[in-house]
Amino acid sequence: MMMKRRDFVTRLGGAAAGAGLLSACGKKEEASSTVKPAARTEYKWDMVTTWPKDFPGLGTGANTLARLINQMSGGRMQVTVYGAKEIVPAFEVFDAVANGTAQMGHGAAYYWKGKNEAFQFFSTVPFGMNTQEMNGWLFHGGGLQLWQEAYAPFNLIPAPAGNTTVQMAGWFNKEINSIEDLKGLKMRIPGLGGEVFSRAGGTPVNMPGGELFTALQTGVLDATEWVGPYNDLAFGFYKVAKYYYYPGWHEPGTTLEAIINKDAFAQLPEDLQAIVMSACRVANQDMVDEYTANNNAALHELVNEHKVELRRLPDDVLLRLKELSDEVVQEVANKSDLGKKVFASYSKFRDQAHDWHNISERAYLNARA
């Protein structure tokens, strides 16, 4: 059939329009290909720590946190870790992050008790909550909100970033058969445990981990606690001390912290803020897993290869330390409104956890034994 003239003209016009459209698209694509993508904002942070550089568990825990942030951010954040003394001494980490010398720190809240004695409740309490209970209180019992409130006046944001699990009572060069044997001893023991040790007649000393071996070797210290088999083996304490005592009454589950400069944190976009806080939580659990795995093997090596004498503190010593601990903790709580509020929250959670763990964790472990 012959195409009508009107149809032919219509089709011809459509083809021309299509050709024009394709030509225009080609020009737009060509033009758009010359537009450069917007520059990506990158954030470079320094993390100062209270630990020796790359020290197993503690120092490597800080490394893990930095690596998680770097990887999860796709390289938009780069956190560089510095050990104690590389930028600031171990016990100046809090102030260095508060004043912006570094954007981030890694340590433990009981090191800063000079700022406010209530800070110690966020690290560990003698005869207090273990690791599992501390995490429960901090993340689901209101503890973290109180911690953030406590650090806010210092321009800091705290976050749990590790836990060493229950520690050992320490290394001694004399047997401990009664509470009298603690009198006159110079022992490295920080935090609330140090105050309890003082009331038992000893002399507590707060000293960075990197100085402990020499202090024991030269007699500056008579005894020291540090962490547990994993870390104590790495420091070689078995070479300069004879007796290794347990249980770690003074540190039943020590929370380590990331402290973040509030101004630096506010400059991050929301997704990077979420990455930093999520990385802290992952690092917190990762350290628990690392200590659980490595303390086992390290204890066997200390006892079986290095012939360390493993001893349990006598019951009457533990009983007296518990009595002194109750006095010290209550006094610290009563020193400030913050202390009262934090200890009320801590105690309520601890008591409820105690009731539950009596019929769960304790009952199971007794049955397994």
Residue 40: predicted pLDDT: 80
CB 126 within 8 A of CB 329: yes
pTM of the model: 0.86
Domains of the chain (ranges; CATH) run 43-165+253-293 (3.40.190.170), 170-252+297-336 (3.40.190.10)
Average pLDDT across each block of 10 residues of the chain; the chain has 369 residues. List them in order: 42 44 45 56 97 93 98 97 96 98 97 95 97 98 98 98 97 96 96 96 92 95 96 96 97 97 98 98 97 95 97 98 98 96 98 95 95
pLDDT number for residue 35 = 53
pLDDT in tens, 140-175: 999 999 999 999 999 999 999 999 999 999 999 999
